[in-house]
Amino acid sequence: MYLYPGWRRVLFVAVLVVVLVIALAPSITQGTIKVHIYGLTRAGVIDHLYVKFTTLEFHTYGFGFGAGWVSVNETTPIIDLIPIPTQFLPQIVASAQITSGRYDAIRLFMTNSTALIGAAHVSLSNTPTLSANFTLPIPPNGFGDVLLLVSFDDSLVLANPAALSIQVVQTSVV
């Protein structure tokens, strides 16, 4: 025989259900994430390298890499990966609302890229995907910043046919 009265058992079960719902329910709060990108290659033979990203994806911490990707469909500006000598701040690729939580990777998909070599515009046919790993918590109503330092291979841009090979050299998060 159970020693406690029925009303105590009902109260215990109700509190247990509330705790489980709060603990296991998906997050519904939002935070803001900003993605910055900065090219490490200085102007030389290639004066400018313009790229445009179509989709950004963030990977939710704790999921396998086949699942857990959150897409951010934000209109992104055209970014010049060869910074002007007076440009000290990295360019913002996107600033978007995202479900609060922890994220551990990013993928950026490009649509097109164009190099400016002297007066000639060279269209780069391939569109590589940038990816990087990090750990970034996005608190409810909070902010998270991702800075990607990228570099590309000049010789491939100057080759015939021209191509783009770009890689993330360093990732910083705040």
Quote the radius of gyration of the chain (alpha carbons, Å).
Answer: 23
Q: Is the pLDDT of residue 1 over 60?
A: no
Q: Could you tell me what percentage of the chain is helix, strand and coil, using 3-state DSSP and rounding each to the nearest 5? A: 15, 50, 35
As given in the structure block, the two tokens for residue 72 are: 């951010």
* 117-159 pLDDT, tens digit each: 988 999 987 778 999 999 999 988 899 999 999 998 888 988 8
Q: Domain boundaries in the chain?
A: 27-173
Contact present, 56 and 35 (Cβ < 8 Å): yes
Q: Hey, how many other C-beta atoms are within 10 angstroms of the C-beta on 49?
A: 24
* 4-29 pLDDT, tens digit each: 777 888 898 999 998 888 777 666 78
Of the two residues 168 and 74, the one the predictor is more confident about is 168
* 82-123 pLDDT, tens digit each: 988 787 788 889 999 998 889 999 999 988 889 999 889 999
Mean pLDDT, residues 78-83: 89
DSSP 2: -
Residue 70 confidence class, pLDDT cut points 50, 70, 90: very high
Residue 50 confidence class, pLDDT cut points 50, 70, 90: very high
What is the reported pLDDT for 144? 93
**Beta-bridge partner residues of 143:** 32
Taking the model in full, what pTM does it have?
0.78
The Cα–Cα gap between 73 and 29 comes to 19
